[in-house]
Amino acid sequence: MKQDQPRPTPRAGIMDIEAYVPGKSTAPAGVTKVYKLSSNENPLGPSPKAIEAAREVAAKLDVYPDGTARRLREAIAEVHGLSPANIICSNGSDEILGLLAQTYLAPGDEAVFTEHAFMVYKIYIQAAGAKPVAVKETDERADVDAILAAVTPATRIVFLANPNNPTGTYLPFSEVRRLHAGLPRNVLLVLDAAYAEYVRRNDYEAGIELAGSAENVVMTRTFSKLGLGGARVGWMYGPAHIVDAINRVRGPFNVNATALEAGIASIRDRAHVERSVLHNEKWLAWLSEQMIGLGLRVTPSVGNFLLIHFPDDKKHSAAAADDYLSARGYILRRVTGYGFPNALRMSIGIEEANRGVVEALKTFLKS
């Protein structure tokens, strides 16, 4: 061990990781009204019942939360028809993704994901000292054959975001099952179903049945997209042996008291969930139609956001559109880091925001 280093240094590989950059949330100085459409948050906000539950726990913040999240696991199990024993709750689903990488990857291992998938997969793989393997997509959608072709004897995890962010595309569950059938039994298939509530397709499944029957599949979910992004609540469903392993490495109180109570109230407020889904269904279709009508290409999405592609000319590029919209208070997401240097991701917002973006882009594209 070297004793002459002037300061502590991270282990090899850590400084090669590109830090995650979240969507911006502020407009240029002087803009008085801001519509944040950069983080796929719920435009209807949290469930009123979740707000009330969070307020009630405020007077008890001196007491540690239940480290097992028993009541939240029971509420999730009740709604989805699952066994609470096969559920782990977490500080957002991001934490679970990191714990899975930490638990099942070691230096020399490989983990596979698709080229436009959630950036944290690569970060967590590298943080575990393993090799990230990005697989080409077909028409901005995961390609099962390409994923299977990338699997080697060193592969330990395959991450599949379904639906994917930032494209909004999804795999029918017949393709997910084909992917699983082609994987070696020692490879863990992680089905990241963060946007599952919003999908309205007959050939889609979030992964509950497969995670409940296979020994090498887990499904991760989040409360963030339905109103609790600030509370950071996520969960995983999977086989008992994986739940046991993750429980050994997670933090002892990884879900705070406010998040626990808000989560319990939120998941049981099915009326709020339905309102959120119906709002999204209406405005996702309307915005897609409007953007196409403006001559812009839109990746077909089943999530609560759209990936909008801009012309190649510099004057009407995504960067120019972003500057133009930001100056008018409309904050969208640059997705250069996801491999789309000339596209913006727009979260579905309230009616005023949705119509405002369309009108602003009409003027921008005519300029």
Contact predicate 186/111, CB 8 Å: no
| DSSP letters for 183-208 | S-TTSEEEEE-TTGGG---TT---SH
Q: Report the distance separating Cα 242 and Cα 236, nearest Å.
A: 10
Angle in degrees, 0-180, between the axes of helices 120-127 and 92-104, rounded to the nearest 10: 40
Pick 48-268's CATH classification: 3.40.640.10, 3.40.800.10, 3.40.50.1000, 3.40.50.1820.
Answer: 3.40.640.10
Q: Among the CATH numbers 3.40.190.10, 2.60.40.10, 1.10.3720.10, 3.90.1150.10, which is that of 14-45+271-366?
A: 3.90.1150.10
Pairing state between β 35-36 and 217-222: unpaired
pLDDT in tens, 178-217: 999 999 999 999 999 999 999 999 999 999 999 999 999 9
- The 10s digit of each residue's pLDDT in 26-81 is 878 788 899 999 999 999 999 999 999 999 999 999 999 999 999 999 999 999 99
Helix axes of 351-366 and 318-326: crossing angle, nearest 10 degrees: 120
Distance CA 232, CA 235 (A): 10
State the chain's mean pLDDT as an integer.
Answer: 96
From CA 98, how far away is CA 100, in angstroms rounded?
Answer: 5
The pTM for the full model equals 0.95
Rounded distance between C-alpha atoms, residue 221 and residue 94, angstroms: 9
Number of other residues whose CB lies within 10 A of the CB of residue 252: 9
Domain ranges of the chain: 14-45+271-366, 48-268
Instruction: Give the pLDDT score at 154.
Output: 98
> Minimum mean pLDDT among 2-11, 102-111, 223-232: which range?
2-11
Report helix, strand or coil for 25: coil
pLDDT of 1 reads 53
Give the closest residue to 198 by CA, choosing from 43, 32, 22: 43
pLDDT at 5: 80
Strand partners, 343: 309
- CA-wise closest residue to 46 among 197, 243, 208, 267: 267
- The answer to whether 157 and 117 have CB atoms below 8 angstroms apart is no
Q: Which band of pLDDT confidence, cut at 50, 70 and 90, is reported for residue 175?
A: very high
One fold for both 14-45+271-366 and 48-268? no
**Rounded to 5 degrees, what angle do the CA atoms 168, 169, 171 make?**
140
